[in-house]
Amino acid sequence: MTNQIELSGVNKHYGAFHALKNINLSIAKGTFVALVGPSGCGKSTLLRSLAGLESISEGELKIAGELMNNVPPRKRDVAMVFQSYALYPHMTVEENLTYSLRIRGVAKAQAKKAAEEVAATTGLSHLLKRYPRELSGGQRQRVAMSRAIIRHPKAFLFDEPLSNLDAALRVHMRKEIRALHDRLHATSVYVTHDQIEAMTMADHVVVMREGVIEQQGKPLDLYDKPANKFVAGFIGSPAMNFIPAVAGEDGRSLTIDLGSVKHKIAIDHQIQPGRKVTAGIRPEHIGVTAPGQGTFDVPVAVVESTGSSTFVTAATTPELTIVETGRGTARAGETVGVTVDPSQLHLFDDASGVRL
Amino acid sequence: MSDTTRNRIMLVIAILMAAIYLFPLYWMYITALKGGSEMFATPPSFWPGDPQWGTFGYVWESRGMGRYLWNSLVIAVGAVTLITVLGVGCAYVLARYRNVWVDIGLFMILMLQVLPASLMVTPIFVGFSQLGMLDYPRLAVIIAIAAKSMPFFVVLVRATFMAVPMELEEAALVDGNSRVGAFFSIVLPLARNGILVSAILIFMQAFGEFVYSKSMIQAAELQPASVGLNSFMGPNTNEWNNIMAYATMYVTPILAIFVLLQRRIVSGLTSGALK
């Protein structure tokens, strides 16, 4: 498979601020890539660099095999969907859709036909004569998408396109965007701060922090084998529990320190005896049983139920979050036993946070 | 105090204030219609007993007002055109780029606005006379007014441009347009209202401009209405009804423009006229 987008050794400086640090990323044709990270991590800067709205300071940026470092946005043939949609307020939906075609000198009738076709696939046919201000949030979002689709660009760039929608519509549009991507055999780069969006939509997830790619890979690989503590805490909801621990003398066990509760548990691989580590365990990988029946016992502080699952917070330091499927058995103020499967434990170096 | 009582008191105060502000205008209109003796009657009459409509025709003819107003119009239109063409680009750059030099530029522009016309007129006069521009006195005045009013226009229009989201321009760039193309097809249409309003304000200023015209235009047939009005008055003037008729004919068109467009002007000044 050929690479549609290729970044090698890309750096970006804003004066003294180093916004992107040695970014290497290859995006194969037809893949859906999500750039995810907390705000200020550089994901938007990276996307804007792809679009040509920012210039990169060092490195190479190739789109469809061509070097694009100093090519202006209009010649890159990429389409972008902005967070604010950036619909032209003084143009009707149809004019918004055909804007890029008209600039390229496509005949009026042909542009109109293209707009009608795209509008039919995105359910905008009855809105073509309206102005953006007369549309609802969801409709505006569709117009922004359609404006990108109509061009058949080399790549679609999405800059948090769903963050202005309400929760229900967001979930719906998630599926729709993914379906659209598959139907068009497009190459998409999708920026989001919402790891659920990244996990559910993308073929390839890139987790960024402070201008650095912390880890990239298939969504479930990131979930199963996070490369470091940051990725482990960022991917998955509710977030992974991190517990300070010390390796036992044989290097095959850990003593975890939960403040009031200290417990020795076996681990399934050898580490250096006496080493200080952080043990990570996902809330959904901890089981709840009767007191004394599990790996160890913890006092329960808070129980929150959503109906489909129950969040249990244990009164330990650090707090331990447990997710039980369905109606939970734990009650606030009581003590419960918890079971921990050693194969589900993630171990990170205490100082660097790197996975062991 | 209940809300309605307070509202009523506020209304009364507002009406009172408006009456004080508008009194000179009212006095102008009724004086223009009064006869010679009624003008100086004590106590003064607040409504002309015998309106002298003929005064207007007489003043128009005897003072050659058509020519004066034409000159005012030429100067105002010229100044507005010059300012709009040059100022829009300037305002756009100042709105889109933020750095030390832009801040310095903006500060200089505001400084220019601080200097009063009467202070500037002498150096401008000397400079223009050296350049031989006083041979085209109306053009000289247009340029002087443009220099004087440009800062005001630039500051107003800059605010309008800043209200146009940068993302719209970026969308146009990604959609395949150049920076210049994006400016003309996206930014300019959206800033149109703000530019229009600022241009109208400049027009009204330029239409009533006096200091530069008075000092630079010697030939009576090239003078604007403001200078014509001034030459009407002397130390022993007593034909106040004629002067007021002149003033009425001079300001009523401007007043009419303002009343007709006032909603647009106010909203243009406050909101950047963009939604």
Q: Do A195 and A96 belong to one domain?
A: yes
CB contact under 8 A, B176 and A74: yes
- Decide: B211 and B118 in contact? Cβ < 8 Å: yes
Nearest CB neighbour to B177, from listed A74, A76, A78: A74
Cβ partners under 8 Å of residue A334, min gap 6: A299, A300
- Give tens-digit pLDDT for A266-320: 888 888 888 999 999 999 999 999 898 888 899 999 999 988 899 999 998 889 9
Q: Do A227 and A246 belong to one domain?
A: no
Q: Do A54 and A177 belong to one domain?
A: yes
> Mean of the pLDDT values across residues B112-126?
84
In a domain, A118, yes or no: yes
DSSP 8-state class, residue A325: E
pLDDT-based confidence at residue B270 (cuts at 50, 70, 90): low
pLDDT-based confidence at residue B253 (cuts at 50, 70, 90): confident
Chain centre to alpha carbon of residue B170: 35
Coil, strand, or helix at residue B73?
helix
pLDDT of residue A280: 93
CB contact under 8 A, B170 and A53: yes
pLDDT of residue A87: 93
CB contact under 8 A, B167 and A84: yes
Cβ partners under 8 Å of residue B251, min gap 6: B28, B208
Q: Do A39 and A181 belong to one domain?
A: yes
pLDDT of residue A1: 59
> Mean of the pLDDT values across residues A234-260?
89
CB contact under 8 A, A52 and B173: yes
Nearest CB neighbour to B176, from listed A53, A86, A104: A104
Backbone angles phi, psi at B224, to 5 degrees: -80, 175
pLDDT of residue A322: 93
DSSP 8-state class, residue A349: E
Burial class (CB in 10 A: 0-12, 13-18, 19+), A217: middle
Chain B residues with beta carbon closer than 8 angstroms to that of A133? 275
Q: Do A94 and A38 belong to one domain?
A: yes
Give me A58's structure tokens: 């060092």
The size of the A-B interface in CB pairs under 8 A is 60
Mutate to test the interface with A, among B96, B174, B192 (most CBs of A within 10 A): B174
DSSP 8-state class, residue B45: P
CB contact under 8 A, B178 and A52: no
Kindly report the number of other CB atoms within 10 A of residue A247's CB atom: 21
Of A203, A234, A265, the last residue of a domain is A234
Q: Do A262 and A223 belong to one domain?
A: no
* CA R_g for chain B: 23
Give me A12's structure tokens: 């970006």
ipTM computed for the complex: 0.86
CB contact under 8 A, A72 and B172: no
Q: Do A271 and A302 belong to one domain?
A: yes
pLDDT of residue B258: 82
Mean pLDDT of chain B: 87
Distance from CA of B153 to the nearest CA of A (A): 24
Q: Do A221 and A345 belong to one domain?
A: no
Place of tokens 């193309």: B181
- Decide: A45 and A12 in contact? Cβ < 8 Å: yes
Interface of B with A (CB under 8 A): 165, 167-168, 170-178, 181, 185-186, 189-190, 274-275
- Decide: B109 and B154 in contact? Cβ < 8 Å: yes
Domains in chain B: ranges and CATH: 1-52 (no CATH), 64-271 (1.10.3720.10)
Structural domain tally of chain A? 2
Of A199, A234, A269, the last residue of a domain is A234
pLDDT of residue B269: 59
CB contact under 8 A, A52 and B174: yes
Give me B163's structure tokens: 């209200």
CB contact under 8 A, A103 and B175: yes
Across chain A, the runs of DSSP E, i.e. the strands, are: 3-14, 17-28, 32-36, 58-63, 66-67, 78-81, 155-159, 188-192, 204-209, 212-217, 241-247, 253-258, 261-266, 276-281, 286-289, 296-305, 309-314, 320-325, 335-340, 346-349
> Mean of the pLDDT values across residues A123-142?
92
Chain A residues with beta carbon closer than 8 angstroms to that of B173? 52-53, 72-74
pLDDT of residue B235: 77
Give me A242's structure tokens: 């991190």
| A32-36, strands of its sheet edge to edge | A78-81, A155-159, A188-192, A32-36, A204-209, A212-217
Classify each residue of A185-204 as buried b or exposed e, where b means 16 or more C-beta atoms within 10 Å of its C-beta.
ebbbbbbbbbbebbbebbbb
| Residue bearing the bigger pLDDT, B270 or A111 | A111
CB contact under 8 A, A53 and B168: no
Amino acid at A22: N
Kindly report the number of other CB atoms within 10 A of residue A281's CB atom: 23
pLDDT-based confidence at residue B4 (cuts at 50, 70, 90): confident
In a domain, A257, yes or no: yes
Chain B residues with beta carbon closer than 8 angstroms to that of A104? 176
pLDDT of residue B275: 41
Whether the predicted pLDDT of A242 surpasses 90: yes
In a domain, A356, yes or no: no
Domain assignment of residue A247, given as a range: 241-349
In a domain, A355, yes or no: no
> Mean of the pLDDT values across residues A4-27?
93
Chain B residues with beta carbon closer than 8 angstroms to that of A151? 175-176
Of A201, A234, A267, the last residue of a domain is A234
CA atoms of B135 and B249, how far apart (whole Å)? 29
CB contact under 8 A, B167 and A53: no
Distance from CA of B172 to the nearest CA of A (A): 8
Nearest CB neighbour to A80, from listed B171, B181, B185: B171
CATH number for the domain harbouring residue A83: 3.40.50.300
| 0.90 exceeded by pTM | no
Closest residue in B to A148 (Cα–Cα): B175
> Mean of the pLDDT values across residues B83-100?
91
pLDDT-based confidence at residue B274 (cuts at 50, 70, 90): very low
Mean pLDDT of chain A: 92
Q: Do A200 and A345 belong to one domain?
A: no
Q: Which stretch of DSSP H or E encloses residue B92?
A: helix B65-96
Q: Do A158 and A277 belong to one domain?
A: no
In a domain, A195, yes or no: yes
> Mean of the pLDDT values across residues A213-217?
95
In a domain, A354, yes or no: no
Kindly report the number of other CB atoms within 10 A of residue A59's CB atom: 17
Give me A337's structure tokens: 């036993």
Q: Do A326 and A213 belong to one domain?
A: no
The number of C-alpha atoms within 13 Å of A193 and in the hemisphere containing its C-beta is: 10
- Give tens-digit pLDDT for B67-88: 999 999 999 999 999 999 999 9
Q: Do A10 and A157 belong to one domain?
A: yes
Nearest CB neighbour to B190, from listed A78, A90, A151: A90
Q: Which stretch of DSSP H or E encloses residue A193?
A: none
Torsion of CA A81, A87, A93, A94, to 10 degrees: -70
In a domain, A90, yes or no: yes
Whether the predicted pLDDT of A128 surpasses 90: yes
pLDDT of residue B1: 64
Give me A62's structure tokens: 């190739």
- Give tens-digit pLDDT for A51-109: 999 999 999 999 999 999 999 999 999 999 999 999 999 999 999 999 999 999 999 99
In a domain, A92, yes or no: yes
Chain B residues with beta carbon closer than 8 angstroms to that of A80? 170-171, 174
CB contact under 8 A, A88 and B167: no
